[in-house]
Amino acid sequence: MKPWLLLCLFVAASAAAHTARTILVFGDSISAGYGIRVEIGWVALLQAKLDRQGYGYRVINASVSGETTAGGLDRLPRALALHRPRIVILELGGNDGLRALPIAEMRANLGRMARLARAARAAVLLLGMRLPPNYGPEYTAQFHRAFVDLARRQRLAFVPFLLRGIALQPALMQADGLHPNERGQPLLLANVWPALRPLLHK
């Protein structure tokens, strides 16, 4: 192949990659695929579904196991600048709750991340979480209400509970009782998809 043709193909491929619409999944171990093979996690299943249905998005998984909202807030500006996403799926807060960190701080961090994403011209989908009952009724109620209130105040696309229909089913959870297993991954995607789909444009 002639050098000039190779150069043209390279420039075309680079331009296509540069203009590809991107979904940034910004979460913790549930989205990072803790305890399972990454290629069978819900984020990988999302990419496959988008490809099958011709949406033309690439999915970037910037999730980190153990991440808190404070850590996410530190990382997000660079991720936004690097990937320039059209959509940010924000899946953080679970580790704040498990560590019994202040709910007001968690809510403020999530709110700042949502504003940063919108300032970067990305739509935001917030994935809500719930805590096990052993954290006490007051704390667990306040924890979940933080997601609901933030979604309402900022008018965010919202999934009230990412693990709906999964968390209380031992057959769908890993032995730690916190992370969905391989069988639970398609159900995670099923919970996300109805809220994500209106944000997509073919």
Of 29, 83, 96, 144, the catalytic one is 29
Catalytic-residue membership of 83: no
Catalytic-residue membership of 29: yes
Catalytic-residue membership of 179: yes
Q: What string of DSSP letters covers 69-131?
A: HHHHHHHHHHHHHHH--SEEEEE--HHHHHTT--HHHHHHHHHHHHHHHHHTT-EEEEE----
Q: At residue 159, what is the residue type? A: V
d(CA 48, CA 36): 17
Two tokens, residue 41: 């996690």
| SS3 at position 62 | coil
Smallest CA-to-CA distance from 143 within 113, 192, 98 is with: 98
Of 28, 63, 179, 201, the catalytic one is 179
Using CB atoms within 10 Å of the CB of residue 10, give its burial: 0 to 12 exposed, 13 to 18 middle, 19+ buried: exposed
Active site residues: 29, 176, 179
